[in-house]
Amino acid sequence: MKIHQALALTTVMLASALAFAQAKPEQQIEYRKSAMTVTARSMGPLSAMAKGDMPFNKEVATRHADVIATLSDLPLLAGAYGPGTDKGASHKSDPKVWSEPEKFKAAYDKFTSAAKALPAAAGDLKTLQLALGDLGKTCKGCHDDYRMK
Amino acid sequence: MKIHQALALTTVMLASALAFAQAKPEQQIEYRKSAMTVTARSMGPLSAMAKGDMPFNKEVATRHADVIATLSDLPLLAGAYGPGTDKGASHKSDPKVWSEPEKFKAAYDKFTSAAKALPAAAGDLKTLQLALGDLGKTCKGCHDDYRMK
């Protein structure tokens, strides 16, 4: 990454953090749960198409892939897992989210990368299946370590 | 709209409806509330920038505009307001959503159109302010008539 790219990224992250600085813990918790709910609902039809349980339709697949990609880089940038948001409302995030934030961020970044690759792959069933497989591993990676049972 | 466009749209809507046909009322209610929660959180920084309460940043603005646009045409297509989803969990949707579905859909479509115009306007503060004004009217239009106090 070049210096001007790094600076631009830092500006975006700071501005996002500022924008959400006022969000109370319960609001941050509600937000991250909502983003996951919407993401999961778009995973449903994509998985069904990939498995052959539902006819493949590239418009529908691309629409759901766009949702997943768009939401994938929000929760962290938006401060949805900010300090103190391990409490305030019921949730399933593991305490390790806050005790090992760099490892959590690295796992989340893998999900974001895989999610952002999804829309370009969603126009064809074979490429969708491959991209969903990659994405699924990153979902599982985070859920195994950072979501409580 | 030409016939092949109408047919393509019908196919997309049918496939979306099929994909979500299994969703129980409580799941549809949770989904539409989640989509609104995420949308509202992206409206926050956009409104703050438009009012001058927060420095304008076009990358952040565009990111949030993308979220709102992407989510704006989901709830209806996804069957989030399907038959029987006036009950099943707590929510604020007015009974008129189900008693006058065509008028509700028309109001929702206005929101979708205004939301989809947002990303192209978000790169400049003046155009963002205008587009947010247009969007705000469609939010209010639906909330006044179809959201309970």
Tens of pLDDT, residues A106-139: 999 999 999 999 999 999 999 999 999 999 999 9
Chain B residues within 8 A of A16 when measuring between CB atoms: 45, 60, 63
If interface means Cβ-Cβ distance under 8 Å, which residues of chain A face chain B?
8, 11-12, 15-16, 18-20, 23, 27, 30-31, 33-35, 37-38, 41, 44-45, 48, 54-55, 57, 59-60, 63, 66-67, 70-71, 74, 77-78
Residue ranges making up the domain that contains B92: 3-146
pTM, two decimals, is 0.86
pLDDT at residue number B41 = 93
Residue type, A80: A
Residue B59: CATH number of its domain: 1.20.120.10
Domain count, chain B: 1
- pLDDT tens for each residue of B78-114: 789 998 999 999 999 999 999 999 999 999 999 999 9
Give the residues of chain A that fall short of pLDDT 50: 1, 9, 12
Residue type, A132: L
- pLDDT tens for each residue of B120-129: 999 999 999 9
Q: Average pLDDT of B23-42?
A: 94
CA distances from A60 to A66, A78, B17, B88, B108 (A): 10, 27, 10, 27, 20
**Greater pLDDT, B8 or B146:** B146
Give the C-alpha separation, B101 to B88, whole Å: 19
